[in-house]
A and B are shown apart, each in its own frame.
Chain A
């Protein structure tokens, strides 16, 4: 099975900062990679699908890139509502594992 890793596991940032989160798959997954945002006590929310396509309604400060095994989620200018945990997911096949998550908190 494919394993997913993320780095960093947590990042402290301020409003306005540029934040970059990296996700790596143990095998190539093409662009079948999704990113989710989760806030405490809430269900995950889809941000990015197909590695770089922005889900409808998601602010354009979120962007995704990469293919194969290495992927990046970037928040260009962090907003107060962006403090949350972010997960990547390999969606090419079954099982469809998630990365361990990256928590973005207040610096």
Chain B
């Protein structure tokens, strides 16, 4: 079935980097985009950015520009997101989500989500 499976939980020290992986299966990876969303404990959903699995085009939320890099590997149908210079307020669950193309009629909605990856930043 169509699914996104994310890598496991991470514990990092302030200033370190973390890479979260998202492996897609059950569909043609390059026909869709992948968005990344995070959720701090007890808080709402925060959109971080998007990457086209077709051509690698990226769009980032302004607050993450320069600190976040999103990539894809079409040979393994995997999307990765690296966050650098981690701070305690980066502690959150990070989700990847599939974004169908605009031509699909989904109007930009995220139809499939990964299970989430908990990233804890603590000294």
Contacts and interface: CB of A to CB of B under 8 A. Distances in A.
Interface of A: 1, 31-34, 36, 38, 43-46, 49-51, 53, 55, 87, 89, 91-92, 94-101
B108 A34 contact: yes
Interface of B is mostly: loop
Contacts, number: 74
Q: Is the interface of A mostly helix, strand, loop or mixed?
A: loop
B109 A91 contact: yes
Given A49-B111, A94-B50, A98-B47, A43 B106 contact: no
B108 A92 contact: yes
Contact of B95 (A34, A43, A97): A43
A34 B113 contact: no
Contact of A46 (B45, B50, B110, B116): B110
Contacts of B97: 44
B67 interface: no
B44 interface: yes
B59 A46 contact: no
12 contacts: A1-B62, A34-B107, A43-B115, A44-B110, A49-B107, A51-B107, A87-B44, A89-B109, A91-B110, A92-B108, A100-B44, A101-B45
A94 to B, nearest CB: 4
Nearest to B96: A43
B30 to A, nearest CB: 19
A46 B115 CA distance: 14
Contacts of B115: 43
B47 A97 contact: yes
B9 interface: no
A45 B106 contact: no
Contact of A87 (B45, B49, B59, B106): B45
A55 B111 contact: yes
A50 B106 contact: yes
Interface string B84-123: 0000000000010100000001111111011110000000
Contacts of A98: 37, 44-47
B108 A91 contact: yes
Contacts of A32: 107-108
